[in-house]
Amino acid sequence: MDLQLAKEEHLTFKQGVRDCIPTLLGYIGIGLAAGVVGNSANLSIMEIGLLSALVYAGASQFIFCAMMAAMSPPSAIIATVFIVNLRHFLMSAALSTHFTRYSLLKNIGIGALLTDESFGVASLRTSKGLPLSDRWMNGLNVTAYLTWIASCLLGGYMGSWIGNPEAMGLDFALTSMFIALLVLQMVALPSSKLRHYLVLIAYTAVAVYVFSAFFSIYIAVLFATVLCAAIGAVTENEG
């Protein structure tokens, strides 16, 4: 235990900043796209900045802008964004066991700024048996957070020059980054775990297809994620 604590002490805020750098290009690209899409939905620069700072979720911001452009009622927008962001509870729960020795306030701070990308970087460390610390996680999260806000604001300014963001493929930016993160995590896995995760991916795809026959695609993705995450947790150490 003392050796583990010593390793964690070496994980500084600055190291978290450095480990975030490889993902910044993705944050910048998606943030620019989110800002452009926000501009096309007639959001002001201030509204784009507040959306990126308070919602801070690429998928939800794209959905928010699409529903705003479609003039959906506020209640529907709020409910949809909340449901899509529920995955952050799952990600926070998955990492929570690595921060049990820290205070509730520190854990809230870490969880509040956790994203799919920072979760992927942290999960990559834990999959290699490497420790996590609150300072390292804060360096990772804060760097990503500030970069995201700045990128969304810049995208909002750029949006006035781009009439049709979909024609440039900007709406695919978020999907492309998720694919890149998935590939980066997969190549670092041992063959046994790789097979296990590939099976879970197949289960998730099937579950999304089945659930989409009864629910909207957003709800179907959420239900499939929860179901297959539970399956993965139960079968993680089997075989």
* pTM for this prediction: 0.69
- Integer angstrom CA distances of residue 212 from 199, 217, 218: 20, 5, 9
Chain centroid, CA 75 distance in Å: 24
| Torsion region of 42: left, alpha or beta (phi above 0 gives left; psi -120 to 50 gives alpha) | left
35's enclosing H/E stretch is: helix 13-40
Selection from 33, 72, 32, 35 nearest residue 50 by Cα = 35
Q: What is the pLDDT of residue 113?
A: 93
The full set of domain ranges for the chain reads 2-188, 189-239
- What is the C-alpha separation between 82 and 76, in angstroms, rounded? 10
Residue 63 three-state SS? helix
pLDDT of 1 reads: 47
Per-residue confidence (pLDDT) for residue 152, from 0 to 100: 93
Mean pLDDT per 10-residue run, the chain (239 residues)? 52 91 86 84 90 88 81 80 80 87 91 89 84 92 95 87 60 60 64 78 88 80 77 66
